[in-house]
A = this chain, B = another copy of it.
Amino acid sequence: MKKITQILFLFSLLSFTTYAAVNDFCVADLKGPDTPSGYQCKPPNTVTADDFVFSGLVAGNTTNTFNAALTSAFVTDFPGLNGLGVSAARLDIAKGGSIPMHTHPGATELLILAEGQITAGFMTPFHLYSKTLKPGDVMVFPQGQLHFQVNSGNDKATAYLAFSSANPGAQLLDLLLFGTSLPSDVIAQTTFLDVEQVNKLKARFGGIGIADS
């Protein structure tokens, strides 16, 4: 009895502590609209420990074109990350597989190699920054840079990825160049690829291109 009174007393004296939950985190309400700084916050009194845990950053199925799988824990998967400027993913690449050239327009990527061997790199004009990584190596791909990861070993490779954004995006170069309705001659003019090459890859990647104009 005395304890309850004391606690209520504490509350009245230190009522400012009740605001702590408001600003110390902002779990995304994914049903609401997004803003430039992230999603609206769930009401603090509905937040539970489950909002801060994501389950399922496990090996993806690599029996596909790339012999690779990326499993993401971005804010759209894991609302607790909202506004906190960090997210994660898991990369599994079967022998001979690769993650093709891609960018994250709004995030730096950190790759922690857990198992196997990966050759990875990014490029700036006329410069290649590439290394063959072994377990325990960490490589950083600065924000917005075009980069790739190839399994260059004899077994499968597993890596954990961290990003400097809760929603880093991921843009595969082939889907940008060959997955839309951009006419082949414009692609050829602005990439110096031969039109035949462009058409061949449009056939592979471009069938659902949507012209937004």
Chain A residues close to B by CB (< 8 Å): 3-4, 6-7, 9-10, 13-14, 16-26, 29, 32-41, 47-58, 60-61, 64-66, 69-70, 72-74, 76, 78, 80-90, 98-101, 103-106, 108, 110, 112, 114, 119, 121-131, 133-146, 148, 150, 160, 162-165, 167-177, 179-182, 186, 189-194, 197, 200-201, 203-205, 207-213
Q: Give bound CA distance, A143 to B200, whole Å.
A: 29
- Complex CA–CA separation, A174 to B130 (angstroms): 18
CB pair A100–B36 under 8 Å, yes or no, is: no
The closest CB in chain B to the CB of A133 belongs to B53
Residues in chain B near residue A4, CB distance under 8 A: 207-208
Inside 8 A of A172's CB, which chain B residues have their CB? 14, 17, 125
Total copies of this chain within the assembly: 6
In the complex, the answer to whether A124 meets B21 with C-beta atoms within 8 Å is yes
A113 to B98 Cα, complex, angstroms: 24
Tell whether, in the assembled complex, residue A17 and residue B110 are in contact, meaning their CB atoms are under 8 Å apart.
no
Say yes or no: A24 contacts B106, CB within 8 Å: yes
Q: A84-B108, A193-B201 given as contacts; is B35 within 8 A of A40 (CB)?
A: yes
Contact A189 B123 (CB under 8 A): no
The secondary structure that dominates the A interface is mixed
CB-nearest residue of chain B to A104 = B144
Q: Which residues of B contact A201 (CB under 8 A)?
A: 192-193
Partner of A100, one of B25, B169, B176, B192: B192
Chain B nearest CB: distance from A160 CB in Å? 5
Q: Write the nearest CB–CB distance from A129 to chain B, whole angstroms.
A: 4
In the complex, what distance in Å separates the CA atom of A29 from the CA atom of B50?
28
